[in-house]
Amino acid sequence: MKRIAHRDSDDTTRRTTRRALILGGAMSAVAAVLGARMRYMQVDEADQYRMLAEENRVSIRLIPPHRGQIFDRNGRLIAGNEQNYRITITREDAGDVSDVLHRLQRVIPLTDADIARVEDEAKKRSAFVPLVVADRISWDDMSRVAVNAPSLPGVTPEVGQSRIYPFDADFAHVVGYVGPVSERDLAKQETPDPLLQIPQFQIGKVGLETWMEDTLRGEAGTKRIEVNAVGRVMRELGRVEGQPGADLTLTIDAEVQNFVQARLGSESAAVVAMDVTNGDLLAISSTPSFDPNLFVRGISYGDYAALTGNDHRPLANKTVSGAYPPGSTFKMVTALAALEAGVIDAETRVYCPGYYEVAGRRFHCWSRGGHGHLALDEALGRSCDVYFYDVSQRVGIDKIADMGRRLGLGQRHDLPMSAIVEGVMPDKAWKAASYGQEWRVGDTINASIGQGYVLTSPLQLAVMTARLASGRAVAPRLVKAIGGQDVPETEAPPLDVDPRLLRQVRQGMHTVSNTFGMTGYSNRIVDPALTMAGKSGTSQVRNITAAERARGVISNDQLPWNRRDHALFVGFAPYDNPRVAVSCVVEHGGGGSTVAAPILRDVLLRILTGGTPPLSAYPASQRARIETALSELPLRQFDTLASATGTRGRA
């Protein structure tokens, strides 16, 4: 019995010992694992956890992408980027923003207004969003802030980028300008790009810059930075580069654009030059212009007031947003509609006694003595109003309007520019819809010579001229390449007009410029290889009363500037093989043949010859005067400019 009890006791002891050993081994293993883990955390990962221990100051920040640059057709830089030193403050790192800003004020020049602005903005923005305290500071100021960083928590000196326009006023209306993101910009977007929260991030405000914003902006990169307890950036832990915006190449030639701007001078005017073969816009100029760099840097109240208070409207892009009665430049539309309808042919003669009478009312020709009997050629050449009054009654407004639309009038042409107008190409249905009134005989008469309800832009007049010259429905094109890839050219379809009739109208335009005694003869091109064809126009901006007509109409130069007629001219060259079409509108300039035609001729010659217009292309009697005028144009020195900005490298 005792032996059995002793055996049971031995078994119990052995079992207890095994359990103790197993438990002890498990505990030792756990202790070993914990020890290894502690060593890994305390030794191998010491730097990482020390950094995290400092209040978890690891920040993820966006890296603004390089904005795409813009070049002319020959690779000249017209919108680029430059370095910009600035100081930012982040509220969550700064703590007491006001205290830090006043300390910063002792380091760099800051006004009380600057501090108040930042304090106000800090209340509106998230705590983690950096706010710009000072922009475009010097390198010395930048260095002083960096040296004093330990006492300026949340303050960061940064190297950013800002837009620059080397050609200042030349491309202002085409390219537009960029500016800081506003609350209004953010409100327009349902899900704003996080980039728009970056301080002083610039986006397009008008022109090509805003219409091509998504292409030019690019995509943000990110960087992880270590910041200590007082907000000082200790180091960069890693970064992922963003995607720069795509570069754009325009169809415009910067040298031609500069020539046109200089040639227009101080006039309130617009010129559009277009390649008739593919629609490329070679120049699109509106004067007076402005320096877009002023808006990028923050325009002063004085400068802005000077622009908005100028009666020549320098901020308006007259080439696409200006809507003008086309005057006699519209007469080709009336003629072509009548020819197509078969109510006249090129030899049909109309008698002009100086007026056209219908329903007891007289509509006067510009020539009070009349022009006698005229066929189409001479009617266009002398710009006889009565001829087109008569013809318009035969064909009717609906067919005239249909022809105008086929030639590009009354259409909003698709270009990446701001405030493009559709113009007005009126017909019976349009007047009923717009005014609730029936179309009247007088409406057709006024429309037949480009007055009344008809409104066109200089861009539309250039398109009309290009279509007449080429016989194709060419459309204007501004962007030649995106990101180095050419934008495919689309061959324009043939214009839906009998080519024989187009030739008859073109012959009339040739008569205008090349037959003695016609309205454009004094501004002809005498070089037979560059012969131009054109049409003048003078559009009234006010009605001439019967009393004024009775006592003799006052000439334009005796009227206040804003009551004078607009001067217009359209033309193309060379006549036998058209390459370029140009439209010119000079607001309140007076006569189209005396004011607009000389400008247009110079522009055609500059484009066709590739340099200063040769004197040999002008009539001999004009050469001395023109040589002086051309030599006095304030043209840019492009060789010098090319060495400074003619590179595709990013700033």
Of 3.20.20.70, 3.40.50.300, 3.90.1310.10, 3.30.110.60, which CATH number belongs to 59-250? Answer: 3.90.1310.10
Residues of the chain with pLDDT under 70: 1-16, 18, 20, 40-59, 61, 199-200, 225, 227-234, 236, 542-557, 639-651
Residue 424 gets which letter from DSSP?
A: B
Write the Ramachandran bin of 304: left for phi over 0, alpha for psi from -120 to 50, otherwise beta.
alpha
Nearest C-alpha neighbor of 463 from the set 446, 477, 451: 477
What is the per-residue pLDDT for 648? 36
Residue 280 gets which letter from DSSP?
A: B
Of 3.40.50.720, 3.10.450.50, 3.40.640.10, 3.40.710.10, which CATH number belongs to 254-642? Answer: 3.40.710.10
The SS3 of residue 118 is helix
What is the per-residue pLDDT for 231? 53
Nearest C-alpha neighbor of 489 from the set 280, 272, 282, 283: 280
CA distances from 258 to 90, 276, 535, 638 (A): 44, 21, 25, 10
Q: Please name the residues in contact with 80: beta carbons below 8 A apart, sequence gap of 6 or more.
A: 69, 70, 163, 164, 166, 645, 651
Q: What count of other Cβ atoms lies within 10 Å of the Cβ of residue 414?
A: 11
Q: Where in the chain is the domain with CATH 3.40.710.10?
A: 254-642
Nearest C-alpha neighbor of 200 from the set 314, 118, 93, 320: 118
Residue 51 host element (H or E):
helix 46-53
CA distances from 588 to 556, 566, 591 (A): 8, 4, 9
φ, ψ at 440 (rounded to 5°): -115, 160
Q: Which amino acid is at 646?
A: G
**Rounded to a whole number, what is the largest CA-CA distance in the chain?**
157
Residue 272 host element (H or E):
strand 269-275
What is the per-residue pLDDT for 651? 30
Nearest C-alpha neighbor of 250 from the set 228, 283, 278, 277: 283
CB 355 within 8 A of CB 362: yes
CB 494 within 8 A of CB 473: yes
What is the per-residue pLDDT for 44? 62
Nearest C-alpha neighbor of 375 from the set 516, 467, 469, 505: 505
What's the start-to-end Cα distance of the chain, in Å?
A: 103
Nearest C-alpha neighbor of 248 from the set 217, 206, 292, 205: 217
Q: Is the four-CA dihedral 619, 620, 626, 630 of positive or negative sign?
A: positive
Can you read off the two tokens belonging to residue 340? 């197509």
DSSP string, 74-98: TS-EEEEEEEEEEEEE-HHHHSSHH
Q: Where in the chain is the domain with CATH 3.90.1310.10?
A: 59-250
Q: What is the 3-state secondary structure (H, E, C) of 449-483?
A: CCCCCCEECHHHHHHHHHHHHHCECCCCECEEEEC
CA distance 45 to 52: 11
Nearest C-alpha neighbor of 509 from the set 430, 579, 433, 569: 569
Query: Which pLDDT tens digit goes with each residue over 99-131?
Result: 888 888 888 888 888 888 888 888 877 777 778
CA distance 214 to 207: 13
CA distances from 342 to 336, 444, 504 (A): 10, 18, 13
What is the per-residue pLDDT for 9? 60
CB 323 within 8 A of CB 421: yes
CA distance 524 to 536: 12
CA distance 640 to 644: 7
Cα 459 → chain centroid: 14
The SS3 of residue 637 is coil
Query: Which pLDDT tens digit goes with each residue over 518-546?
Result: 999 999 999 999 999 999 999 887 665 55
- Rg of the Cα atoms in the chain: 36
The residues facing 63 across adjacent strands are 221
The residues facing 361 across adjacent strands are 358
CB 460 within 8 A of CB 414: no
What is the per-residue pLDDT for 105? 84
Judging by beta carbons within 10 Å of its beta carbon (0-12, 13-18, 19+), is residue 180 exposed, middle or buried? middle
pTM here is 0.83
Residue 626 host element (H or E):
helix 623-631
What is the per-residue pLDDT for 36? 73
Residue 127 gets which letter from DSSP?
A: T
Exposure class string for 560-579: b at 16+ Cβ within 10 A, else e: eeeebbbbbbbbbbbbeebb
What is the per-residue pLDDT for 197? 72
CA distance 500 to 190: 54
CA distance 320 to 326: 14
CA distance 502 to 468: 7
Q: Which amino acid is at 324?
A: Y
CA distance 226 to 216: 31
Nearest C-alpha neighbor of 423 from the set 411, 405, 439, 408: 411
